[in-house]
Amino acid sequence: MPQAKGANAQILIQEETTFATDPATPDARKVYISGCSLKLNRALESSDILRGNRNPTRPARGNDDVSGGLSTELQAYIGLLLKATLGSVTTTGTGPYTHTFKVGSSLPSLLIEKGFPDIGQYFKYNGCKVSRLSLSITPSGFQKVDFEFLGAKETTGSTSFDTTPLDLGKVSFDGFAVGAIEEGGVAIGDVVGIDGLTFENDLDGEQYLLGGSGTRVDIPEGTVKVSGTLKARFKDLALYTKAIAGTESSLRVLFQLGTGDGSSGNESLEIKLPELIYAPNAPVIDGPKGIIVELPFEAYYEDSTEASAMQIILKNTQATV
């Protein structure tokens, strides 16, 4: 019998209508990944009973913890994952289309299938919600992004949930695709990168009930937290002065292929943090080369027109994410 190979594995996702329940009609989408750690973990709980000798008694089963993540690249056709992260999307246009993602009042749940077609084995995870998105923006190379999940249950089988998934292709953005970067609403040319840009949903993973067979019955979302670190060449005190004074600022990064109008080969993705403040972090001397200032920040919503701590605008040929 052949061994399953990671190169032949596939990941499918579909939004659920009802939490932790298969959609009535399979309509999954293929996701291009570099790795997937999503799995079921179930601890064994030891007994403290003494049986008259030193041998232990049989352990009890703990609760089911479905968790893990997907590692991929920032792409033009991962809109469903972005919706699952922020919670809200508005689509305009008649082709190409503009999808605007903002912080929503709730999060959708996903069905995620981890498939090994070469040996005909499939792991289906229901009730998956995004707990965290992590992204580092770099001057070159593909932009790596990780999505971490909490889920409700795992089911194994010998056939896929959807044997004819939608494949939108892989259209990735790299560092050369950065068409614009703005700080405080003004173009800035000295940014080296943005490290650890993180969007967290503060999920409650402790929703277990008596008689619930150790399965999460819900995964409520909490208050969003958006943070990261801006890295720039140290040329003056402008950014550091903002940090010391606690002055509100903003960040906007635009990735663009071709014209960026959203037609095939011209996709774009804009990440905007409309309101943020920096934490002071003076540049250090760690050698003879150029000095970099690294300023941690947190984004928030107070009175911006976007009404969202993070906004993502994606333009592509996809009518519905």
Does the pLDDT at position 112 exceed 90?
Answer: yes
The confidence score (pLDDT) of residue 254 equals 98
Inform me whether the pLDDT recorded for 1 exceeds 90: no
| Confidence (pTM) | 0.96
| Sign for the pseudo-dihedral over CA of 273, 12, 170, 120 | positive
Q: Read off the pLDDT of residues 153-172 as tens digits, 9 standing for 90 and up.
A: 999 999 999 999 999 999 99
Give residue-wise pLDDT tens across range 221-250: 999 999 999 999 999 999 999 999 999 999
* Residues 278-303 pLDDT 10s: 999 999 998 999 999 999 999 999 99
Contact 153, 64 (CB under 8 A): yes
DSSP string, 184-246: TTEE-S-EEEEEEEEEE---------TTSTT--S-------EEEEEEEEE-SSSHHHHHHHHT
- Number of alpha helices (DSSP H) and beta strands (DSSP E) in the chain: 2, 19
What is the CA 289 to chain-centroid distance, rounded?
A: 35
Is a pLDDT exceeding 80 seen at residue 19? yes
Tokens describing residue 92? 């305009």
Tokens 């499918």, residue?
A: 12
Do 225 and 298 touch, CB atoms closer than 8 A?
yes
For residue 48, give every residue at least 6 positions away whose Cβ sits within 8 Å of its Cβ, in sequence order, or none.
none
Residue 28 confidence (pLDDT)? 98
DSSP 86: H
62 has a pLDDT exceeding 80: yes
Report in angstroms the alpha-carbon separations of 44 from 62, 72, 130, 215, 275. Answer: 6, 32, 26, 15, 45
Region of 68 on the Ramachandran plot (φ > 0 left; ψ -120 to 50 alpha; else beta): left
Q: What is the pLDDT of residue 169?
A: 95
> Which of 197, 202, 203 minimizes the C-alpha distance to 312?
197
Residue 230 pairs with which residues in a beta bridge? 194, 295
- Confidence at residue 125, expressed as pLDDT on a 0 to 100 scale: 98
Per residue in 243-285, pLDDT (tens digit) is 999 999 999 999 999 999 999 999 999 999 999 999 999 999 9
Question: Which residues make beta-bridge pairs with 270?
Answer: 254, 313
Domain segments of the chain as ranges: 6-316
Tell me the pLDDT of the chain averaged across its residues. Answer: 96
Q: Which long-range contacts (CB under 8 A, 24 or more apart) does 256-261 make?
A: 256/177, 256/178, 256/179, 256/180, 257/76, 257/171, 257/173, 257/177, 260/179, 260/315, 261/96, 261/315
Tally of residues, the chain? 321
- pLDDT at position 276, please? 98
